[in-house]
């Protein structure tokens, strides 16, 4: 593509080979978009971009011509570099999206489970899929590591380009879309065919500051949906925010929930082995016994069915799929160790933690022992809420670390203790030691739930990433150290 297709008044003609926002990625013929950040300005690296071959510079800096007097290329000054990046990227990379249905999943809790299971079902029937989310990115069955839940728009197009280049037959792009990504315009310009909102709770207020900012950021994704025949917004009918989000879009709206909704479920039985549900889909009743646990996973099942029905892929095969042994790293992973149940789950919001503990209280035989921490340099207001929920709903709580970053772990724990409803807690700052203590004090029939870390293979302390895994700590615990159990291996 000639530069004049994007900028008709460009004086220096060249073929555009790509669009980059990171100077070190530039190659000859690229457009470099210098995005100003909170701590770093992309324009500070413009010399590197030019040295690597960038022929057009896009910037908000009004002094760019004076700063680059010897540059023999184009300088484009814009009001908003992020918006401009989205605009030109959409034009330049649009061919990579041809024939692909884009599905965006947003909400406070459930995004990873929902997106992963939708991806797994589509792959089980040999449909080409790109998955972008917390647990990594996939092009069909090939895994690519990621840093953010939702990468920037150029990384998204890069995955699409790679899939096309490798001749992968991709029909669907499934994305977890975080509130930060929406607000920071990381997905601006990407046209979604389906947007699903799981629920709205309390999270990321260190970034959004207010619940209203968080709520409206999610709403932007819905409001941008175009009114087309096969475009759908899918909403949780049972959410207290349902009416707010319903009014934001003119696209077709479908609902899921346990009560009045297009896709309904009646929970008939719950245990640590599975859940028995009666589903009502398009007026037809289906009996389902799934090994997915908890009411929150019933909502996830309904949401997935709503997505698959919207793309005309719902059939009884979907019901059979949910009857299988399904696995999502760090989401309600259950391990049996000497007649105890150990559960690892990523729940780290007040609502998510409450849902997990309510379910485990229903199915426990003896005690429920919970282990929980809160992230440092993150929303401090949820810490006492989590302290209150865990001490109210668990028989014994271990307050410990969870990515303390630059905050002292003891100060984070003190914030959690401020909300404690009783004194049924123990403070052990080292998560490894806390797990050993929780398992060591447990008895046959107890449930021990490790909350907050889930799949994460690291612990962040003083902003340094150290190798760490809840799962490895549990599986490496010496069985001989378990109480009253020497004859039960």
Give the pLDDT confidence score for residue 484 in this predicted structure.
64
Mean pLDDT of the 430-459 span: 96
Nearest in space to 93 (alpha carbons), one of 164, 24, 7: 164
Q: Whole-angstrom Cα distance, residue 460 to residue 60?
A: 35
Alpha helices in 311-342 (DSSP H): 316-322
Q: Evaluate if pTM is beyond 0.95.
A: no
Q: For the chain, list the domains and their CATH numbers.
A: 3-91 (3.40.1390.10), 99-322 (3.40.1190.10), 333-481 (3.90.190.20)
**73-123: per-residue pLDDT in tens?**
999 999 999 999 999 999 999 888 999 999 999 998 888 999 999 999 999
Q: Where are the beta strands (DSSP E) in 282-328?
A: 284-290
**359-391: per-residue pLDDT in tens?**
999 999 999 999 999 999 999 999 999 999 999
334 touches 293 (CB < 8 A): yes
3-state secondary structure of 396: strand
318 touches 413 (CB < 8 A): no
Give the pLDDT confidence score for residue 207 in this predicted structure.
72
Going by C-beta distance under 8 Å and a sequence separation of 6 or more, which residues neighbour residue 96? 157, 160, 161, 163, 164
The answer for 403, left when phi > 0, alpha when psi is -120 to 50, beta otherwise, is left
Secondary structure element (H or E) that encloses residue 179, with its range: helix 179-183
139 touches 166 (CB < 8 A): yes
Mean pLDDT of the 210-222 span: 88
- Burial of 53 from C-beta contacts in 10 A (0-12 / 13-18 / 19+): middle
Q: Where are the beta strands (DSSP E) in 226-377?
A: 232-236, 252-257, 263-270, 275-281, 284-290, 333-337, 340-345, 368-372
What tokens does 165 get?
Answer: 């280049």
């Amino acid at each position: 593509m000639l530069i004049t297709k994007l900028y008709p008044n460009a004086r220096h003609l060249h073929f555009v080979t790509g669009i980059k926002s990171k100077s070190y990625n530039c190659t000859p013929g690229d457009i470099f978009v210098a995005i100003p950040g909170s701590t770093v300005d992309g324009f500070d690296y413009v010399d590197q971009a030019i040295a690597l071959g960038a022929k057009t510079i896009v910037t908000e800096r009004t002094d760019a011509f004076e700063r680059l007097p010897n540059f023999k290329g184009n300088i484009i000054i814009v009001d908003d570099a992020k918006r401009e990046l989205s605009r030109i990227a959409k034009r330049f990379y649009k061919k990579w999206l041809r024939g692909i249905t884009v599905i965006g999943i947003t909400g406070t809790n459930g995004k990873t489970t929902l997106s992963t299971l939708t991806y797994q079902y589509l792959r089980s029937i040999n449909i080409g899929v790109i998955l972008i989310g917390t647990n990594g990115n996939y092009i069909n069955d090939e895994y690519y590591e990621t840093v953010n839940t939702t990468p920037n728009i150029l990384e998204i197009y890069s995955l699409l380009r790679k899939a096309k280049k490798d001749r992968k037959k991709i029909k669907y792009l499934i994305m977890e879309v975080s509130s930060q990504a929406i607000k920071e315009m990381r997905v601006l310009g990407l046209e979604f065919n389906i947007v699903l909102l799981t629920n709205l709770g309390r999270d990321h207020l260190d970034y959004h500051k207010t619940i209203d900012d968080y709520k409206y950021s999610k709403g932007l994704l819905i409001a941008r949906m175009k009114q087309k025949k096969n475009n759908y917004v899918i909403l949780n009918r049972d959410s207290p925010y349902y009416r707010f989000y319903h009014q934001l879009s003119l696209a077709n709206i479908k609902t899921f929930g346990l009560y009045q909704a297009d896709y309904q479920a009646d929970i008939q039985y719950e245990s640590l082995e599975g859940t028995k549900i009666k589903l009502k889909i398009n007026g037809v009743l289906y009996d389902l016994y799934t090994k997915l646990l908890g009411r929150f996973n019933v909502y996830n099942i309904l949401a997935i069915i709503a997505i698959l029905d919207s793309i005309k892929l719902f059939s009884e095969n979907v019901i059979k799929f949910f009857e299988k042994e399904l696995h999502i790293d760090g989401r309600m992973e259950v391990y049996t160790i000497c007649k105890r149940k150990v559960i690892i789950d990523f729940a780290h919001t007040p609502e998510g933690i409450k849902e997990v503990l309510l379910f485990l209280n229903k199915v426990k035989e003896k005690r429920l022992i919970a282990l929980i921490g809160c992230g440092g340099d993150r929303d401090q207001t949820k810490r006492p809420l989590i302290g209150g929920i865990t001490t109210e709903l668990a028989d014994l709580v271990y307050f410990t670390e969870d990515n303390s970053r630059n905050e002292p772990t003891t100060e984070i724990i003190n914030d959690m203790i401020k909300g404690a409803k009783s004194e049924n807690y123990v403070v052990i700052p080292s998560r490894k030691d806390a797990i050993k203590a929780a398992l060591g004090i447990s008895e046959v029939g107890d449930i021990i739930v490790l909350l907050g870390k889930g799949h994460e293979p690291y612990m962040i302390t003083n902003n340094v990433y150290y190798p760490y895994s809840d799962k490895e700590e549990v599986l490496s615990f010496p069985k001989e150290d378990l109480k009253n159990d020497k004859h039960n291996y």
